[in-house]
Structure 1
């Protein structure tokens, strides 16, 4: 089996490779193809992967997209259009207008999508032409927008993944002294719904017991969760649901903005400096590439959402919260689709249930939403939630989804006014005048 990784020179590729190696008895990958437009980054990543040890699939690198995807069985799409320098610009332009600068939430995420949608449209077209039976598993942010755009060409063969929802479920189960993988195996039912980086855990049931109610009553268990340390137990109890940690940027927007502004540099600026230094050093010392990567990764993960935790006096990030697990989610999904396994997961899929009815009422059937699914050799089947989103949650989801769909149209047509409408529609942009200036700054235009 051939696995292609788009964005193969990216910093987190070794995590994916390690997960593939660890799952070799579950799903056999014969060849891993790394694709990136930057040959220098590809070379560095090749040295890092070599340092991980002999054995495993053959690894080859290419800067040619057609060569990379032709004949692939699975495509992992993890591209970052514009790199960390683009992310830095996205964040700084927003902060300059007094609105949130974050790479996936608010105007920063919309700017990221504006330049990413045309690229993933081209990628989806080449996959559909050269590997029509391939499964495309997209890690590319902003995941909700990118997955929805790619579906226009790839349909059900593309799915968006994020480790945040499943990590939340597992942490809740661990806090309740339950097997953290009880949902994966079907021993626990989960109600989770929303969009990527905009969702809520609304129900957790096992053997007739309401586990979420148990959690909300238990001060120690509730207080152990990263989301609660960020947003407070009182707020979580008021919601009656545990929010995805990215809801911090919506529910505590003023605090988030103040914390970022006071931090001196944005997350993008930190990563841009950190990764530039890593690639430069690793290129000069290829024999130390793996050690340098490990040192850089440890610092990167330990500082994740550090500003937000400091702003809320949330303390250090718990050890079990360190390390992004999207690579493990991707391998579990690959093992389900092609390796004969069955997994319950939370993924970004179309808003259409098995009966043809919407999974989230009030959204179009072809809108991409984030919900529990059952994945196996027969494909990916959404599990309709037993509990609907509360009206206030649904209203926010509808507003952001409308914004996302306008953004896709703007990215494809290049129409400035459509982009303006998209930015103005976002809940975190508080002025149409600000929205217009943001669009002009991101597009490199001078206001008319």
Structure 2
């Protein structure tokens, strides 16, 4: 089995490598290729990756290259984890929206649109090259904004599934609070990427006993603290929103917080410099503890489970169900069939098939429909360019929605991203 990681020079990659090594019976990789244009950091990451495999006795071969076409040739699956413009572009995404009184965040609001505009054309070019060199390969997208990027891939006819670590992170936290094994819990996870709610926490699988009321009653304070939301919000909703809902439910408070401290991008950039120095130590043969602060917790386990289910090799996955980003296709009747949603699905070699979802409260359905409309316009802007399309997408976003604010954000977005937008 050959897997290729595009963006293999990311400081995230050792988390992925550790999962591949630990879970080799589930996903028996024989060849792993890391590809990245940043040759120096790719070498550091690849060296650590080989040492992790050696320490854990994994027999697979790890290679590194800057040649994308060679890297994907004959691959069974290609994982995308790239960041166009690097942390410097992220720093801008997180700062200029604040000038207009809006959340500065790399996947949500105006910053998220900027990232989509930079990313979609690059990902589609990579996907076309995968189609030529490995026509049967599955593309697993971890590149944000995952919903928009996955929709671009599926609209272009690629074998693609989007992946996010929010659901698996919540599953692990809930399991720890309840004193259960993670595999015992099935989340009724519904929404769009970075716009989801846990409507149920079920023991044993779909239709199992719902533990959510007891979880909120007994551990509501801990859950709320982890999400940085008031416990009263969870009590009033009766469900668990993802932490990204804080940008909607407490937008103005978040803006005040972000204006008062260094950006997350600045923190991550400093952390990455320290991590790369650690990766260059030839004695290091495991992922360092610092990596846990970088983000992406449990990404490796989610990626292993999804790839194993899609490729049908190994001893199987802990559950036949995976939370993925895939076509709506009637699952949420208030959305178009070609919208990309994030839900539980049964996954096998034919791809994901979303599980039925009960009627969703208008409180959530309305926001889902609104953000889906924004994503329609965002993808159109990413594919066809043009100031007017960017403006319309910003005006449609529920965190913006005002004419003058959308105009000001459009000007700033274009000014800060000219080098990455061929049409600007």
Aligned match of 2:398 in 403, 423, 427? Answer: 427
Question: Is it true that 1:273 corresponds to 2:270 in the alignment?
Answer: yes
SS at match of 1:332: helix
Aligned-pair RMSD on alpha carbons? 2.3
User: What CA distance in whole angstroms lies between the structure 1 residues aligned with 2:231 and 2:293?
Assistant: 29
In the alignment, which residue of structure 1 is the partner of 2:108? 105
Question: Is it true that 1:39 corresponds to 2:39 in the alignment?
Answer: yes
Per-residue CA deviations over 1:218-258 (Å, capped at 9, x if unaligned) read 2x322232566521222112112111111111111112111
User: What CA distance in whole angstroms lies between the structure 2 residues aligned with 1:223 and 1:106?
Assistant: 28
- Given that 1:74 and 1:134 are in contact with CA atoms closer than 8 Å, whether structure 2 keeps it comes out as yes
User: What CA distance in whole angstroms lies between the structure 2 residues aligned with 1:422 and 1:82?
Assistant: 21
User: What CA distance in whole angstroms lies between the structure 2 residues aligned with 1:117 and 1:426?
Assistant: 19
Aligned match of 2:81 in 78, 81, 85? Answer: 78
User: What CA distance in whole angstroms lies between the structure 2 residues aligned with 1:163 and 1:390?
Assistant: 24
In the alignment, which residue of structure 2 is the partner of 1:347? 324
- Given that 1:201 and 1:242 are in contact with CA atoms closer than 8 Å, whether structure 2 keeps it comes out as yes
Per-residue CA deviations over 1:254-313 (Å, capped at 9, x if unaligned) read 1211111111x100111123324543x368x5536668x725424435xxxxxxxxxxxx
- Given that 2:188 and 2:201 are in contact with CA atoms closer than 8 Å, whether structure 1 keeps it comes out as yes
Question: Is it true that 1:326 corresponds to 2:329 in the alignment?
Answer: no
Structure 2 unaligned residues grouped into runs of 5+: 418-424
Given the two structures, how large is their TM-score scaled by the length of structure 1? Answer: 0.85
SS at match of 2:297: coil
- Given that 1:121 and 1:150 are in contact with CA atoms closer than 8 Å, whether structure 2 keeps it comes out as yes
User: What CA distance in whole angstroms lies between the structure 1 residues aligned with 2:17 and 2:270?
Assistant: 24
Question: Is it true that 1:441 corresponds to 2:412 in the alignment?
Answer: yes
Higher relative contact order (CA 8 A, sep 6+): 2
In the alignment, which residue of structure 2 is the partner of 1:13? 13
Question: Is it true that 1:56 corresponds to 2:65 in the alignment?
Answer: no
In the alignment, which residue of structure 1 is the partner of 2:353? 381
In the alignment, which residue of structure 2 is the partner of 1:315? none
User: What CA distance in whole angstroms lies between the structure 2 residues aligned with 1:39 and 1:390?
Assistant: 49
User: What CA distance in whole angstroms lies between the structure 1 residues aligned with 2:45 and 2:202?
Assistant: 43
Aligned match of 2:137 in 130, 134, 137? Answer: 134
Structure 1 unaligned residues grouped into runs of 5+: 302-322, 353-357
User: What CA distance in whole angstroms lies between the structure 2 residues aligned with 1:18 and 1:437?
Assistant: 44
In the alignment, which residue of structure 2 is the partner of 1:418? 389
The alpha-carbon deviation at position 41 of structure 1 amounts to: 1.4
Per-residue CA deviations over 1:293-352 (Å, capped at 9, x if unaligned) read 725424435xxxxxxxxxxxxxxxxxxxxx611111010111222226252121111102
User: What CA distance in whole angstroms lies between the structure 2 residues aligned with 1:378 and 1:26?
Assistant: 18
Aligned match of 2:193 in 190, 196, 216? Answer: 196
Given the two structures, how large is their TM-score scaled by the length of structure 2? Answer: 0.90
User: What CA distance in whole angstroms lies between the structure 1 residues aligned with 2:360 and 2:396?
Assistant: 21
In the alignment, which residue of structure 2 is the partner of 1:319? none
Greater shift in the superposed pair: 436-445 or 157-166 = 436-445
Paired residues in the alignment total 408
